[in-house]
Amino acid sequence: MRRQETFSSRWGLIVAGLGMAIGTGNMWRFPRIVAQNGGAAFLIPWLIFLFSWSLPLLIAEFAIGRGARRGVVGAFADLIGRRYAWMGGFIAVTSVMILFYYSVVTGWTLKYVLASLAGQLDGPSAEQYWVDYSASVWQPLGFHVVSVLIGAAIISRGVVAGIERANKVLIP
């Protein structure tokens, strides 16, 4: 039987957890949400919520995964019984749906990073840049495909050589 690959260090696991918890959505929306809700006054309750709700859930998820040493369906079956294993399947399907959303946003981000480096976002044409980009069929599709291929390449390399190495570059 093949041995399951695990993270090579505690730091690698923490960085992967942070990347999962922060996510592309927070990178994309968070500055706007802070600005719309009072700036620093928003950050205090947000940090309280983060440490009192999100962090314990992340720790619980790690503990369940470590204890079960199985996929999400098997972990749910072990934790609360085979009758409720469908909940793990629901989470797996939901994760795939989130992947579809994030891969599109990641494609947008990739396009904007390249446009920014090329100096194409300077001046009053930035809004028009989005209008032109989103009106195109091939550009969003192309950047979506590139983002999916990058993700697939990272995942195909495994936990240590793929996910852990990519997180060391992308998360900080």
Predicted confidence band of residue 25 (pLDDT cuts 50, 70, 90): low
Domain boundaries defined on the chain: 10-170
**pLDDT tens column, 109-160:** 899 889 888 888 776 677 788 888 889 999 999 999 999 999 899 989 888 8
Can you state the angle between helices 85-117 and 126-135, rounded to 10 degrees? Answer: 130
Query: How much is the pTM?
Result: 0.71
Can you state the angle between helices 72-80 and 55-68, rounded to 10 degrees? Answer: 90
